[in-house]
Structures are given as structure tokens and as C-alpha cells.
Chain A
Amino acid sequence: MSDQIPTTTPAAETMTGAAGAEAAVEVRGLNKQFQTASGVVHALEGIDLTVEAGEFVSLIGPSGCGKSTLMRLIADLDVPTSGELTVFGKTATQARLDQDYGIAFQQAGLLPWRTVAANVALPLELHGVASAARRTRVADLLEMVGLTEFADRFPDQLSGGMQQRVAIARSLAEQPRLLLMDEPFGALDEMTREKMQTDLVRIAADTGAAVVFVTHSIPEAVFLSDRVVVMSPRPGRISDIIPMRLDAADGREERDDDLREASSFFEMVTEVREALHGGASDAENPAPRAARGVDTR
């Protein structure tokens, strides 16, 4: 489908996956169908994807193309209908039991009766981290998301964006090797969003965590990712995987706000946009592919 860009074909993808030592996420021929009252919904069909350890991969595509479903399958919150899925070489269930990933949903999902600090401490508490260690870790995390002075507030006393930052701090609490994030910045205003993006790039680089990041925003995907996975709906498929060739991308930690104004950044934005919109007229894929609903900010 994307013969012009050889490095992005699923075939090439499969090979790197097979050669790699232990990928963070490895998906082969994955299908997911939902039985609903009105019939079978093919949420995902024939998904092949490898996310290497330490790699930042964004999933982008119109609403209903199965991004959240794929995320939930990796997180073992749902089971595939068929196909293979491993996380660090284990089953998704084992990876969940081993606490190999941290997750942030689209909604913050904070516990309303817990303070900001207690919400961030929740996973540490559940896994028996001693209270002194917990306190320092929570303080570090709140510092990182800029909410130190809000530690004793309750979620209902925070704005939506601040709640989301608490949720992100919580997902990072146990320094997971894999971060799953489903449109985590959707509720943030533009300025906070850019700040969180810069922070996330830094955190991912610092901790060496692999990230699977769902977004609606092309610039966000381009700014953050090593590779952008473009998906199309009905049935949910991967239509393209585009490696980001950004000038600053040799070291990920060098991605900063200057990058947002670099010409390579805009080239990549254009490439992703064309992959998203171009799918519809692709002769090899006769299935209708509307890319509406994707925000091209």
C-alpha cells in the first residue's frame, strides 16, 4: 500500500519484530469482534504491530477505528477474538499481573474521596510500598506534573486538566517499562498540552519506557513518536506505519519546543495527514475509509 516508503510496510515491520530481542508489545494477526444486539462489530482485523522496548508509538485514526480496543487488549482488560498478543514476551494477563505497564485513560478516573497525593499513591499502596518511600515518590511525581501545592486537594477541587495530570503521575508511579495512554491530553488546554508533551518525551527518555499513545492530534503524534501507526475504521486496521524522521530525533531527549517549528516537523505532519486522508482513494484497499473525525491541529 505504501510502496513509495519501503520502511513503513507491515512486512518490514514484521521482520524487525521477529529479529528484536524482547519487544514491549508484539501483536500478530490480531482480531477483535464484539457481539452486539445489532450484530457483530469488527473492531480490529489483522493487526500486526511490534513496539520495541523503549520505543514511542502513537496510534492515530478516526473515531471507532479500534485504538482504545487495541489498548485495552494490550492492558488485558479485554481478550482478543483471535491472534497473538505478547507483552515483554509474556501473555497480556501475565504482564498485567507482573505490573509491567502503567495506564492512563481518556478520563482521569481519580478516586473522589482521595486527595491528589493519595490518588497518586494508590498503586504504590496496593503493592505494599513502605509509607516513607511512598511519600518521597509521590512528592517527586507531583513535582514533575507541577501539582506539588495541590497535594492535599480533592479531585473535585481541580480542573479537568489538573485531574488528568494527576492520572498521568499515577500511571508513572511504579516506573513501568510500558506506558499505555489513551488520549490522555484530550482534556487539556493547548498550553498545558504542549508542556505535558515535552514532559512526557523527557520522562519516556529518562525511564526508557516504551509508550503506546493514542491521540487524535497529528502534531501531537509527530512530536512525540518514533513511529506513528495510522489506523482506519470498519473494520479497524493498520493502514500505515510511518517512522518519524525528525532532525532532532537522534536523541529523543532533544525534542523540545523548537522542534515544533522545524521544517522536518511540518513535513512529517503532512506525511501523516496524507496517510490518514489518502487511505480512502488507495486502490489496494477498496474498503471505504473515511478519515473524518481526526483533528489536524
Chain B
Amino acid sequence: MTATRNDQRGEVAVRPANQSGAVANPARTRLLGGFLWGIAGVALIALIWEGYKFFGPDNGVLIGELRVLPRTTDLAMPHLWDMMTRLAEPVTRADGALPLWAVVALAALMTLGIAAAGWAVGVIVGVAFALLMQRWRLAEFGLLPWIVISQTVPLIAFAPIVKSWGSRVEIGSFEWQDWMSVALIASYLAFFPITVGALKGLQSPDRIHVELFDTYAAGYWPTLVRLRLPAAVPYLLPALRLGAANAVIGAVVAEVSTGLQGGIGRLLIQFAGQASGDPSKAWGPIFGAIVLGLVAAGSVALLGIILKDYRRTEEAA
């Protein structure tokens, strides 16, 4: 007892050295589990689609005059395999036409680029607002209500006006492009959740940590960089993901309402118009839009993995 008193520290809760490996494993299992659940979900949807198409009445299910379930004709509900094979076929019968999937992918890429630009602007504006409001209480009282109200204005409804305003902007060699109107609308939808999340995150440090920095006589900037921003990460990540989803939705819808060519929004409308002759083709851009959303959300999730140390808590787990 006396012999060990000085060198044995007697802490029972000390974790074994291989602990970090043991922690990573459940995480990996969880990731794999999530992946499997995702596949199972897709399979289930496919099964319901084909099952209903097979067993459901041609004319759909009606209650009185109201159709509560769609028709099961090939026109309304093409077979999944028809949709897939259609993706591989050329988009038009013209010579040298690209396969449908390639056209969809190019359009999705363009929309992704616009959405990313809008998201980036949304991040900059959102974080800037949050910094202002964290630093000055008065700014929070003055700004936050307006920021909330701004989201009740359906900017998408004004998309054509935004476009026509934009077309008058010309500063030196800089000329407003139509895609910029779309990106602006995307950023308008993206900045809100980012502002709210960032503000909450910047205000999140515990009193004990803020006071610790006070005892170090650390000023605003050192405290921001070494305390507030790192502490904001767990709040910022979901906000960035929400912002990304909003930016994609905003970009697609704004493409439709401004009539911007080349993006997935335009393709959705265009191919839907051809659905009576080629029903499977209309589903191409829909799949494209889904993949687009997944890529956007996945990119932010990647950011979360890079910043994983900032999502730790102080408590011994």
C-alpha cells in the first residue's frame, strides 16, 4: 500500500491504451449499418412501386371523384427497369446524341456549381451576421427579427424580377450573368439556417471557458479563434447541411422560374413535357436531382469527418 502510494495514481476510470481503436469500431459499424439501412429503404420503395403497379387497378384508386393513388399505366408509372434502360439510351434520336444519363449528369453538375456558389455566399453572409450579433447584443436585437422576417418573403416568387434587376448590373468589365440570379436566390435560402446555427454556436461556450480566457487577458480575436469558433462547430455542421439542402432546392426552383438553360431544373420541365411520348425519360432528371441532393449533403458530412475533433464533449464518455 505505502509502496504504491506515490506511483500508482489509483484511477479506475483510466481507459486502456487500445481504447481509440475500440471507439472507432462502433463508429464504423454504425456507418455500415446506416449504409445497409439506406439500401434496404431504396429496395423497399422499389418493391412498393412495382408491387402497386402490378396489383393496383389501371385507373388508380378513387374515392368518389378523387384519385388517391395514381394510375398504374406505363405512362404514369413506368417500370423501374424501363427508367434504368432509358438512362443508358441516347437522349434524342439525333446522330451523336449523348446518352440520357450524361445529359442529366452535366445538367446536375451545373446546378451543383450554382448551388455551391449560393451556399458559399450564404455561409459568408450567415457567419458574418452571426459574428455581428454575437459581438453586439444590440445587433442581435436589431437584426434577428429582420433576418427571420426575410425568410417569410418568397424570393423565388420574385425570381424573374431578380433576374431582370441583375441584367442591369454592369460594373466595368463585370457583367451580371443569369446564373448569378439563381445563385443569389440559392444563397438567400441558405444563409438563414447558417446564421441561426452559427449564432447559437458562437454563444455556446460555457462560462467557465469564457472566464478562463478572461483570466488569460485574451482579447476578442484570440477568444474567437481559439474558443468561440471551435465551440461553434457542432452547431455549425447541421446548419451547413441544412443550408446546402436549401441551396440545392433554391437553385433548382430558381432555374425553373428564371428559365435558366442548362441546369437540372430546366431539364425537369423540358422532359416532363415530353412524358406522353417518352414517360421513362422524364424520370432521368428526377433521379439526377436526388443524386444532386445526396452529393450536397454528403460533401457537408465529409466536412464533419474532417472536423471530428471539434465535435467532442468535455465529459468523459
Contact = CB atoms under 8 A, between A and B. Distances in A.
A138 to B, nearest CB: 16
B216 A160 contact: no
A282 interface: no
Contacts of A99: 216-217
A167 to B, nearest CB: 9
Interface in B202-217: 206, 208-209, 211-217
B226 A122 contact: yes
A145 to B, nearest CB: 10
A110 B8 CA distance: 24
A111 B313 contact: no
A11 interface: no
Nearest to A154: B312
Contacts of B315: 156
Interface in B1-54: 5-6, 8-15, 19-20
B309 interface: yes
Residue among B9, B11, B209 having the largest count of chain A Cβ atoms under 10 Å:
B9
A77 interface: yes
Nearest to A256: B6
A159 B206 CA distance: 20
Q: How large is the interface on A (under 10, 10 to 19, 20 to 34, 35 or more residues)?
A: 35 or more
Nearest to A105: B208
Interface string B146-187: 000000000000000000000000000000000000000000
Nearest to A155: B314
Contact of B216 (A107, A126, A146): A126
A111 B211 contact: no
Contacts of A190: 10
Given A96-B217, A112-B312, A159 B19 contact: no
B19 A157 contact: yes
A79 to B, nearest CB: 13
Contacts of B14: 158-159, 162
Nearest to A158: B316
Given A123-B216, A126-B226, A195 B9 contact: yes
Interface in A174-210: 189-192, 194-195
Interface string A245-268: 000000000000100000000000
A96 B215 contact: yes
A192 B10 contact: yes
Contacts of B218: 126
Nearest to B5: A191
B241 to A, nearest CB: 20
B90 interface: no
A99 to B, nearest CB: 6
B259 interface: no
A156 B316 contact: yes
A20 interface: no
Given A75-B215, A127-B216, A191-B10, A154 B5 contact: no
Contacts of A112: 312-314
Contacts of A76: 214-215
A257 B5 contact: yes
A219 to B, nearest CB: 16
A115 to B, nearest CB: 9
A194 B1 CA distance: 13
Given A126-B216, A191-B8, A156 B313 contact: yes
Residue among A101, A160, A191 having the largest count of chain B Cβ atoms under 10 Å:
A191
A53 B27 CA distance: 52
A163 interface: yes
Contacts of B226: 111, 122, 125-126
Interface of A: 75-77, 96-97, 99, 101, 103, 105, 107-113, 122-123, 125-127, 146, 154-163, 189-192, 194-195, 257
27 contacts: A76-B214, A77-B211, A96-B215, A103-B212, A109-B212, A109-B314, A126-B216, A126-B222, A126-B226, A156-B312, A156-B313, A156-B316, A156-B317, A157-B15, A157-B316, A160-B316, A161-B13, A162-B14, A189-B11, A190-B10, A191-B5, A191-B8, A191-B9, A191-B10, A192-B9, A192-B10, A257-B5
Interface of B: 5-6, 8-15, 19-20, 206, 208-209, 211-218, 222, 226-227, 230, 233, 309-310, 312-317
Task: Enumerate the 9 nearest inter-chain pairs by beta-carbon distance, A residue then B residue, closest first.
Answer: A159-B13, A191-B10, A109-B208, A112-B312, A112-B314, A113-B310, A159-B11, A97-B217, A113-B230
